Amino acid sequence: MKMFRGKFFIFFVTLFALVGCNSAASGDKENTIKVTTTIAQIGDIAENVGGEKVTVESLMGPGIDPHLYQASQGDIRKLNDAEIIFYNGLRLEGRMGDILNKMSESKPTIAVGEAVPTKLLLEDDDETDKMDPHIWFDISLWLFAVEEVKNSLIELDGENADFYEENASAYIKELKELDKYAKEQISAIPEESRVLVTAHDAFKYFGEAYGMEVTGLQGLSTDAEFGLNDVRSIIDLLVERDIKAVFVESSISEDSINAVVKGAESRGHSVEIGGELYSDAMGTKGTETGTYLGMFRHNIDTIVNALK
């Protein structure tokens, strides 16, 4: 009998704990601000600045190319459910313009890229009036995005302004340290080897900020095909400059870069794949490269190891 009661006791304690946990979890969810972002880089800002006050959902996971991305029914639901939406803008999310416009009629829908002063943006070489959207690769520009997310959260939830301010300061401090690390590491590569060849032109801001020459096989967006001429001119560059490594991107097929490696080989110049860089998409959530700081550091270390 004693044992019987003991079991019952455990049963009730367990039941109570489960019910208790459940209501606590759903209670938290109800009291947080629902944030939906396009790319996960922006989701990372919202999580760091918003902390426990926000629930963040990013539509574009690992390996997803934002230039070509189209919103699914599930995405539209997540955008509808959001209290606030952050996206990059500058035409990064080229195929989501209509849906984002529609969302802006009913809730704050903010292009963080538009917070960067125009004079600091790089122009698209191929198209006038079009700016390079890949601003997250220059940390000094990305800080404008952090400020924009912080200000937008404060506007929505002024009561917690101090909380957002503090979180943003801590995050900005880490970003500035990473910026310093990037400059130190890249400058350790011999100057003539500071050439970054990738599948598409995601790294121009990176090149400007950290002192590398960058070339992509495709332009700023991946929606245009690359031609034989593009492959040939990159092979010329590799041979002429004696470049030892090129890089694949996690969100783009490796075929284009493999064609470059083969082409260089046929001209007697051996080039290796220096590793995989996170360009337009971050790594898997819960891993090192699933955070902005982690993926940026991964890129720096990969580039330095291959070119040093």
Residue 249: CB minimum distance to Zn ion, A: 8
Q: Does 202 bind Zn ion (CB under 5 A)?
A: yes
Residue 203: CB minimum distance to Zn ion, A: 9
In which residue are the tokens 């699933």 written?
Answer: 290
Residue 117: CB minimum distance to Zn ion, A: 21
H or E segment at 195? strand 195-200
Q: Which stretch binds Zn ion (CB under 5 A): 96-104, 152-160, 202-210, 296-304?
A: 202-210
Q: Does 84 bind Zn ion (CB under 5 A)?
A: no
Q: Which stretch binds Zn ion (CB under 5 A): 55-63, 111-119, 194-202, 270-278?
A: 194-202
- Nearer CB in complex with Zn ion: 134/298: 134
Site string for Zn ion, 267-306 (x = CB under 5 A): -------------x--------------------------
Residue 224 · residue 124 · CB < 8 Å: no
The two tokens of residue 121 are: 């943006």
Nearest-10 crossing angle of helices 292-307, 161-187: 0
Q: Which stretch binds Zn ion (CB under 5 A): 9-17, 135-143, 199-207, 300-308?
A: 199-207
Residue 69: CB minimum distance to Zn ion, A: 11
CA 218 to chain centre: 19
Contacts of 219 (CB under 8 A, 6+ apart): 124, 125, 126, 200, 201
Q: Does 124 bind Zn ion (CB under 5 A)?
A: no
Q: Does 214 bind Zn ion (CB under 5 A)?
A: no
The partner residues of 222 in beta bridges, in order of sequence, read: none
- Nearer CB in complex with Zn ion: 156/202: 202
Residue 67: CB minimum distance to Zn ion, A: 6
Q: Number of residues interacting with Zn ion: please give it, by CB under 5 A.
A: 2
Q: Which long-range contacts (CB under 8 A, 24 or more apart) does 8-16 make?
A: none
The two tokens of residue 192 are: 């003539």
The two tokens of residue 275 are: 């590793």
- Nearer CB in complex with Zn ion: 164/278: 278
- Nearer CB in complex with Zn ion: 189/214: 214
φ and ψ at 207, to 5 degrees? -60, -45
Q: Which stretch binds Zn ion (CB under 5 A): 30-38, 102-110, 197-205, 300-308?
A: 197-205
H or E segment at 248? strand 245-249
Query: CA torsion angle for 126, 127, 131, 135 (degrees, to 10)?
Result: -30
Binding site for Zn ion (CB under 5 A): 202, 280
